[in-house]
């Protein structure tokens, strides 16, 4: 970490937000390209993977750089990465940092999303939407959307191009029949149509609630596990 300075304009993370979403909101607020912003916060690693290593787990140097640039605490920064779910709804391999693809229903390629949440938050993206275990929005009683409503591309299967200024809540996939490299689909993701359930007690919503309870538990000791408590990862494997 060299020459990291405090960014003069701040954007606070929102509850449950993913790290890349918060950084995109910061880039949009400051009208800074994605590549320049990553340099400014010392996350300028090559875009070799669909999910960057810093989205999985931040190194101590990266945490220090981000805190220096934004004043967000290391605890809050770590909570925006997939390491937040390590051993519960996902598994990390530390060297080199990557996701363990053998974990049942772990983080999937790309991400689902709730269009209603995007409307209310101004396009901010929840970390939990990346999990294979998250398929509904309990707040809006709906299934999550899988693809862009315009170009049908799955969202967040690749990182943003470095020369683009982020547009939270809009599709960043290359536009069809584009004439320049910079042209993006740009569709408003909040317009995606999703199946909504009539009541809060629908069995699909109950299933999501139960899974969320398992993921956040220290140990599962109810139901068939009352006599033989298990760690969340083991229960998810059973499911």
Terminal alpha carbon distance of the chain:
43
In sequence order, the 6+-apart residues with CB closer than 8 A to the CB of 3 are none
- Residues 81-115: tens digit of each pLDDT: 999 999 889 888 887 788 888 888 877 788 999 99
Q: Where are the alpha helices (DSSP H) in 31-97?
A: 34-40, 53-56, 60-70, 74-79
Beta strands in 27-148 (DSSP E): 92-93, 98-99, 136-137, 142-143
Say whether 184 sits in a helix, a strand or coil: strand
Q: What is the pTM of this model?
A: 0.92
- Residues 16-54: tens digit of each pLDDT: 999 999 999 999 999 999 999 999 999 987 665 667 899
List 196's β-bridge partners, or say none: 142
- Residues 168-220: tens digit of each pLDDT: 999 999 888 766 767 889 999 999 999 999 999 999 999 999 999 999 999 99
Residue boundaries of the structural domains of the chain: 19-191
Q: Which of 219, 206, 164, 208 is nearest to 186 (CA)?
A: 164
d(CA 97, CA 74): 18
């Amino acid at each position: 970490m060299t020459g990291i300075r405090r960014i003069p304009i701040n954007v606070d993370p929102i509850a449950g937000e993913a790290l890349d979403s918060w950084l995109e909101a910061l880039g949009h607020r400051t009208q800074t390209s994605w590549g320049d912003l990553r340099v400014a916060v010392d996350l300028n690693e090559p875009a070799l993977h669909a999910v960057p290593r810093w989205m999985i787990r931040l190194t101590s140097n990266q945490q220090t750089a981000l805190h220096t640039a934004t004043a967000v605490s290391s605890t809050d920064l770590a909570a925006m990465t997939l390491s937040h779910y390590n051993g519960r709804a996902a598994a990390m391999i530390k060297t080199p940092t990557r996701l363990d693809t053998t974990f049942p229903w772990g983080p999937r390629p790309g991400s689902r999303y709730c269009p209603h949440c995007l409307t209310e938050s101004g396009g901010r993206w929840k970390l939990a939407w990346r999990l294979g275990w998250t398929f509904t929005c309990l707040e809006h009683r709906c299934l999550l959307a899988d693809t862009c409503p315009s170009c049908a591309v799955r969202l967040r299967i690749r990182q943003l191009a470095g020369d683009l200024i982020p547009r939270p809540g809009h599709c960043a996939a290359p536009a069809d029949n584009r004439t320049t490299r910079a042209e993006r689909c740009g569709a408003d993701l909040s317009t995606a149509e999703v199946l909504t359930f009539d009541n809060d007690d629908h069995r699909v919503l109950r299933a999501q609630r139960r899974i969320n309870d398992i993921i956040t538990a220290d140990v599962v000791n109810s139901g068939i596990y009352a006599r033989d408590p298990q760690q969340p990862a083991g229960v998810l494997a059973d499911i």
